[in-house]
C-alpha cells in the first residue's frame, strides 16, 4: 500500500475543496430539513424539481436530486466522486432521517446503498 498522489482540489471548492466528516454532514442534512439555518422559502426552492422549457420535471432541485425510494418515501440526495474519495448524503424529509456515506478510496456505493441503510431507520 502506498499514499495517494497529492491532488490540489482548492480550485473546485464545491467538488472537493472542503473537508468534512460524516457527523458534520449528517448535522448539515438535518439542518436542510427544517427552517432555521435557511428560510422555508429557500428550502422549498432547493427541493423543488426544476423544469425544462417543455414543462417536464428534471428530478433535480438546486444541488439536490429529488425522488422516491422503492417504498415511495421521498428522498433528497447528492453524491459525488473525486480523486481518492466518494461521498453520498441522502435525506428522508418526511421522517427526518439522514444517511451519510463517505470513503477515502474510490468505493462503489451510491443511492441504492444509502436507501438500504435509510430503511433501517425509517418508521414502520
pLDDT digit string, tens, across residues 57-75: 999 999 899 999 989 999 9
Which pLDDT band, with edges at 50, 70 and 90, does 16 fall under?
low
With a cut of 70, say whether residue 14 has pLDDT above it: no
Residues 6+ away with beta carbon under 8 Å from 82: 7, 9, 15, 16
Q: Is residue 4 part of a domain?
A: no
Domain count, the chain: 1
Q: Is residue 45 part of a domain?
A: yes
pLDDT digit string, tens, across residues 83-123: 778 899 999 999 999 999 999 887 888 899 999 999 999 99
**% of the chain exceeding 90 in pLDDT:** 69
Q: Is residue 44 part of a domain?
A: yes
Question: Can you give the residue range of the structural domain that contains 117?
Answer: 21-121
Cβ proximity of 84 and 106 under 8 Å: yes
Q: Is residue 16 part of a domain?
A: no
Q: Is residue 106 part of a domain?
A: yes
**Which strand (E) or helix (H) includes residue 25?**
helix 22-31
How high is the pLDDT of residue 15? Answer: 62
Amino acid at each position: 500500500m502506498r499514499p495517494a498522489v497529492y491532488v490540489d482540489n482548492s480550485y473546485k471548492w464545491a467538488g472537493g475543496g472542503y473537508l468534512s466528516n460524516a457527523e458534520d454532514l449528517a448535522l448539515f442534512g438535518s439542518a436542510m430539513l427544517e427552517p432555521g439555518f435557511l428560510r422555508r422559502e429557500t428550502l422549498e426552492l432547493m427541493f423543488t424539481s426544476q423544469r425544462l422549457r417543455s414543462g417536464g420535471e428534471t428530478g433535480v432541485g438546486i444541488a439536490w436530486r429529488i425522488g422516491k425510494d422503492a417504498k415511495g418515501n421521498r428522498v433528497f440526495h447528492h453524491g459525488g466522486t473525486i480523486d481518492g474519495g466518494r461521498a453520498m448524503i441522502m435525506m428522508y424529509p418526511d421522517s427526518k432521517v439522514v444517511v451519510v456515506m463517505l470513503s477515502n478510496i474510490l468505493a462503489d456505493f451510491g443511492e441504492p446503498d444509502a436507501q438500504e441503510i435509510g430503511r433501517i431507520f425509517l418508521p414502520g
